[in-house]
């Protein structure tokens, strides 16, 4: 027991010091438990087969799917629009949102889904993620107290009553204390916690695709010489394929996009052909977006009997015309040893080898308006194509410099597609499986993660990149510490002593002692393990005093979810640590006052709602 306490103290000191990454500290702690003979090999490595750990990894993939299909970008924009320029309003929104969602979804699932949204919203609102991510985690921990299935400790304490012949807590009964606590957390962060939250600079700033696209439109004059033309009933293009005419060679005109307009032709047909290919058939009433000089376009209109849609493209319209969930743009710079140096290529040409289109060109900071460009080293281009092809552009053509991250830009597109609704449906399925307890949480999360990958919401090759392995490894490596505390009897010894001394004075002091003991353990032990440990102790203590066990078990559920002082207290705390750039002491400084407020409110409300 003494050796274990020394290992635990050293582990906490290393977390506080911050010299080593938290996952490395957790792994060292885990190995120490085995090398010192406290745990056998099975218990030492049990965290890596723990269903909770697998569930967390799967939830990261589900969150990645929501991010890649536009929901996180859309939610981030909504958060910002609702909050305006007020960071504190945004803080209230994310705290309340995470709290309500975690009442029906697991806390880890809530944070996994909202983490990219919150990061994006923070940067767009002109603040840092560190000002929002900890409230998101704490809000999810608190929101788990809204319903019976909101967090495992609720189910554990309810089962303790049932196993002893009493009526368990109803589904929304926890909300009688959970809702006041959530409102208290919101008020705390709105008026006090905001001042305590650190300013931690991180490298996870998402690309603002609106500003990037508008910058390219202006710098490369992309909107110039772009027109929308309608295929009229007498046009010879009807029924033919784009490749039949070789428009770029014969007419100096590039076909950039095609929109189906004839009602009788829309059934079962995609409304847009984003990247028209040579075998793309043109039909009556189609709208084609073309690029070319005014003279060439005039000749093109007359020869093919086309109608002109006279409205000029606005920057926002150009963005919608050129970019969506499937198709993107990126800036490309040619190096002196590039394949392209010396080649003459017309603007608007599709590069068959890579599947992208040269949309605009710039040399020495000035846009090039010539149709045919002989490429020199240092020339910059804006290229358009599928996000997949853009992402692999550097592997197809060597010695190119791609400005920015295509993957990050794709996640900032807020237009929704069919895959967006598949991703949302997958999240709804996960909620249903968890709310109605149809499958174990880990299995439900793995199934939904598989749906995300098989439907293309998350490319299979990108799935592992969406997992925060630092968080996953740290949680898996810290689970053995909870096992060691139970096996050595350390937790039971401390708990029984505290209950014995306080219970003889007054039930309210015992209630406070149960809260303090449980919350101390919950800072380092998994909250489910803490609830399993403390529930029978709280029940027996209440029965021996001749009072109702309900208020003591409610307090066990509350205090098991108040792991606000350490990044390892709950998985949600660990999940936001890296993204927010938090240090160990940040949790103590921000979580300490909130924990004291929770303690005071619980001591006031719980005895009133659930009398002794």
pLDDT tens per residue, range 96-117? 888 887 776 667 767 766 777 7
Please check the confidence at residue 268 and state whether its pLDDT lies above 60. no
Domain count, the chain: 3
pLDDT of residue 188: 94
Q: Does 260 score more than 90 pLDDT?
A: no
Token pair belonging to 505: 């004075």
Is the per-residue pLDDT at 596 higher than 90? yes
Percent over 90 (pLDDT), the chain: 18
Which of 411, 427, 450 corresponds to the end of one domain?
411
Name the residue range of residue 596's domain.
2-44+71-203+468-609
Q: Are residues 26 and 86 in the same domain?
A: yes
317 lies in a domain? no
Geometric angle at alpha carbon 214, from 288 and 255, rounded to 5°: 20
pLDDT in tens, 49-103: 888 778 778 877 887 787 778 776 676 567 767 877 778 888 888 888 888 877 7
pTM for the complete prediction? 0.62
Residues 568-596 have a mean pLDDT of 86
Considering the domain boundaries, does residue 320 fall inside one? Answer: no
Same domain for 304 and 331, yes or no, is no
Pair 246, 388 in one domain: no
Q: What is the pLDDT of residue 213?
A: 64
Q: Are residues 372 and 503 in the same domain?
A: no
Whether 90 is covered by a domain: the verdict is: yes
Q: By three-state DSSP, how is residue 308 classified?
A: strand
Angle between helices 315-322 and 209-219 (to 10 degrees): 110
Q: Is the pLDDT of residue 209 over 60?
A: no
Both 486 and 602 in one domain: the answer is: yes
Residues 242 and 184 in one domain: no
CATH, residue 266:
3.30.70.1450
| Phi, then psi, of 530 in degrees rounded to 5 | -60, -45
**400 shares a domain with 258:** no
Greater model confidence, 495 or 450: 450
DSSP string, 208-249: -HHHHHHHHHHHTTTTTTEEEEEE-TT-TTTT-BGGGT-HHH
CB atoms within 10 A of CB 182: 26
**Quick check: is 385 in a domain?**
yes
Same domain for 151 and 278: no
Helix (H, G, I), strand (E, B) or coil at 489: coil
Residues 269, 393, single domain; the answer is no
Rounded-to-integer distance, Cα 169 and Cα 33, Å: 38
**Most confident segment among 141-145, 178-182, 426-430:** 178-182
Contacts of 85 (CB under 8 A, 6+ apart): 125, 126
Round to whole Å and give the CA distance between 149 and 312: 54
Give the chain's mean pLDDT: 81
> Is 191 among the domain residues?
yes
Cα gap 482→521, rounded to integer Å: 9
Across 296-306, average pLDDT = 91
pLDDT at 413 over 70: no
Q: Is residue 345 one of the residues assigned to a domain?
A: yes
Let me know: does 254 contact 347? Beta carbons within 8 Å.
yes
Of 258-267, 321-330, 411-420, 504-513, minimum mean pLDDT range: 258-267
- Bridge partners, 228 (sequence order): 289, 309
> Tell me: the pLDDT tens digits for 495-549?
566 667 776 677 888 899 889 888 987 887 767 767 777 777 788 778 777 788 8
pLDDT above 70 for 408: no
Residues in the chain: 612
Q: Are 246 and 346 in contact (CB under 8 A)?
A: no
Calculate Rg over the CA atoms of the chain.
30
pLDDT, position 64? 79
Q: Which residues contact 389 (CB under 8 A, 6 or more apart)?
A: 354, 355, 356
480 lies in the same domain as 596: yes
Last residue within a domain, chosen from 370, 395, 411: 411
Classified as helix, coil or strand, 148 is coil
The span from the CA of 74 to the CA of 357, in Å, is 27
Asked, for residue 462, whether it belongs to a domain, the answer is: no
CB atoms within 10 A of CB 343: 11
Would you say residue 546 lies in a domain? yes
Q: Same domain for 494 and 374?
A: no
Q: Would strands 380-386 and 327-334 be described as parallel, antiparallel, or unpaired?
A: antiparallel
**The last residue of a domain, from among 252, 281, 312:** 312
Residues 306 and 335 in one domain: no
Mean pLDDT over 345-363 rounds to 78
pLDDT digits (tens, 9 = 90+) for 310-337: 766 665 666 667 777 677 778 888 888 8
Q: What is the pLDDT of residue 234?
A: 92
Using CA atoms, how far apart are residues 264 and 565, in angstroms rounded to an integer? 63
pLDDT at 80: 66
């Amino acid at each position: 027991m003494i050796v274990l306490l020394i290992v635990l103290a050293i582990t906490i000191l290393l977390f506080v010091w911050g010299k080593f990454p938290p996952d490395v500290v957790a792994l060292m702690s885990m190995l120490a438990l085995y090398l010192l003979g406290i745990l056998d090999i099975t218990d030492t490595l049990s965290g890596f087969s723990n269903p909770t750990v697998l569930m967390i990894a799967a939830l990261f993939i589900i969150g990645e799917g929501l991010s890649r299909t536009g929901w996180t970008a859309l939610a981030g924009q909504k958060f910002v629009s609702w909050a305006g320029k007020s960071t504190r309003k945004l803080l209230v929104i994310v705290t309340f949102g995470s709290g309500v969602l975690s009442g029906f979804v697991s806390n880890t699932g809530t944070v996994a889904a909202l983490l990219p949204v919150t990061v994006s919203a923070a940067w767009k609102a002109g603040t840092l993620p560190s000002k929002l991510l900890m409230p998101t985690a704490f809000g999810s921990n608190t929101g788990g107290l809204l319903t019976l299935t909101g967090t495992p400790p609720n189910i554990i304490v309810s089962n303790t009553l049932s196993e002893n012949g009493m009526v368990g807590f109803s589904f929304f009964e926890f909300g009688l204390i959970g809702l006041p606590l959530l409102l208290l957390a919101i008020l705390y962060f709105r008026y006090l916690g905001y001042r305590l939250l650190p300013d931690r600079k991180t490298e996870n700033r998402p690309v603002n695709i609106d500003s990037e696209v508008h910058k390219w439109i202006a710098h490369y004059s992309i909107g110039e010489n772009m027109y929308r033309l309608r295929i009229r009933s007498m046009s010879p293009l009807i029924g033919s394929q784009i490749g039949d005419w070789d428009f770029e060679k014969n007419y100096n005109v590039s076909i950039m996009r095609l929109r189906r307009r004839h009602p009788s032709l829309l059934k079962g047909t995609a409304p847009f052909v984003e990247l028209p290919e040579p075998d793309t058939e043109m039909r009556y009433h189609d709208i084609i977006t073309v690029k070319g000089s005014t003279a060439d376009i005039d000749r093109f209109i007359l020869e093919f009997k086309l109608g002109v849609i006279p409205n000029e493209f606005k920057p926002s319209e150009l963005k919608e015309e050129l970019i969506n969930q499937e198709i993107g743009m990126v800036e490309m710079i040619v190096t002196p040893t590039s394949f392209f140096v010396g080649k003459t290529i017309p603007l608007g040409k599709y590069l068959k080898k890579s599947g992208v289109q040269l949309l605009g060109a710039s040399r020495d900071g000035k846009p090039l308006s010539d149709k045919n460009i002989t490429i020199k080293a240092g020339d910059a281009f804006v290229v358009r194509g599928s996000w997949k092809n853009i992402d692999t552009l550097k592997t197809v053509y060597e010695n190119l410099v791609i400005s920015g991250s295509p993957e990050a830009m794709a996640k900032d597109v807020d237009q929704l597609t069919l895959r967006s609704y598949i991703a949302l449906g997958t999240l709804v399925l996960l909620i249903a499986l968890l709310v109605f307890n149809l499958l174990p949480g880990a299995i439900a999360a793995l199934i939904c993660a598989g749906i995300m990958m098989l439907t293309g919401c998350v490319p299979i090759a990108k799935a592992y990149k969406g997992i925060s392995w630092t968080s996953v490894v740290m949680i898996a490596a810290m689970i053995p510490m909870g096992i060691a505390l139970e096996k050595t009897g350390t937790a039971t010894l401390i708990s029984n002593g505290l209950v014995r001394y306080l219970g003889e004075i007054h039930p309210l002091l015992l209630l406070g002692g149960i809260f303090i003991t449980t919350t101390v353990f919950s800072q380092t032990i998994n909250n489910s393990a803490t609830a399993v440990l403390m529930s029978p102790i709280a029940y027996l203590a209440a029965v021996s005093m001749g009072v109702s066990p309900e208020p003591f078990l409610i307090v066990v559920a509350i205090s098991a979810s108040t792991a606000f002082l350490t990044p390892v207290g709950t998985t949600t705390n660990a999940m936001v640590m890296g993204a927010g750039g938090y240090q160990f002491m940040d949790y103590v400084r921000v979580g300490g006052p909130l924990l004291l407020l929770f303690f005071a409110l619980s001591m006031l409300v719980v005895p009133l709602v659930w009398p002794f």
